[in-house]
Chain A
């Protein structure tokens, strides 16, 4: 069974631009959640989508948004990029939504650098 696939692996963007990251979950998994990892703040939860609906949300500004398609693939969008958005963005897929005692399996991440 294929794992979680994130594209692209690396991205360089300029301040003020917007970016879209993609995540394909494990086949049969309906939950996709997104995380930001930085040296200063560690791993932080962004949001979770389950069956095309945002189910849970972290404490990030509205510039961070996402969506999920009917095939469970998810995209995350960051608008008006700031230097502080430089991070490793990870997505995880689960059979069930968070809170349902489900294992979360992560992709390899997208390394975003904002210059």
Chain B
């Protein structure tokens, strides 16, 4: 499968706690993007990190990228009930001679009030 893997598949935490999700991928990439999806609706873009960057912050989000291990992590600090959603990583790179956004399998995050 071309898809990346995310772990954990599901995560349940208490409001106020931090949530960490990991993403591994298989091919060389130009960038990696993280998205949030609520209940089968559209994807909301969270952050893009380029292959030459190691860490990026946006509000309560912190993303790291380790291209030597082909992995990335998304940390959400001080989580809120509204953060409950599925989170996906997507890599932009060449696969079978075409550029594609290859998505991970996603992490379902539940933040309990």
- Residues of A near any B CB (own CB < 8 A): 4, 6, 33, 35, 37, 42-45, 48, 55-59, 88, 90, 92, 97-101, 103-109, 111
* Minimal beta-carbon separation of A54 from chain B (angstroms): 10
Please indicate the chain B residues that have their CB under 8 angstroms from the CB of A42 in the complex: 3, 103-106
- Residues of B near any A CB (own CB < 8 A): 3, 30-31, 33, 35, 40-45, 48, 50, 88, 90, 92-94, 96, 98-106
Is the pair B45, A57 in contact by a Cβ cutoff of 8 Å? no
Please indicate the chain A residues that have their CB under 8 angstroms from the CB of B103 in the complex: 35, 42-44
Is the pair A90, B98 in contact by a Cβ cutoff of 8 Å? no
* Minimal beta-carbon separation of A47 from chain B (angstroms): 9
Question: Quick one: which of B3, B92, B94, B98 contacts A101, CB cutoff 8 A?
Answer: B92
* Minimal beta-carbon separation of B9 from chain A (angstroms): 12
Please indicate the chain B residues that have their CB under 8 angstroms from the CB of A92 in the complex: 43, 101
Please indicate the chain A residues that have their CB under 8 angstroms from the CB of B102 in the complex: 45
Is the pair B101, A104 in contact by a Cβ cutoff of 8 Å? yes
Q: Is the interface of B mostly helix, strand, loop or mixed?
A: strand
Is the pair B92, A99 in contact by a Cβ cutoff of 8 Å? yes
Distance, CA A71 to CA B65, complexed state (A)? 36
Distance, CA A105 to CA B101, complexed state (A)? 12
Contact A109 to B41, CB < 8 A, known contacts A98-B92, A99-B92, A101-B31:
yes
20 examples of A-B residue contacts, CB within 8 angstroms:
A42-B3, A42-B104, A45-B101, A45-B102, A48-B100, A56-B98, A56-B99, A90-B43, A98-B92, A98-B100, A99-B94, A101-B50, A103-B33, A104-B33, A104-B92, A106-B42, A106-B43, A106-B44, A108-B42, A109-B41
* Minimal beta-carbon separation of B1 from chain A (angstroms): 9
Distance, CA A11 to CA B105, complexed state (A)? 25
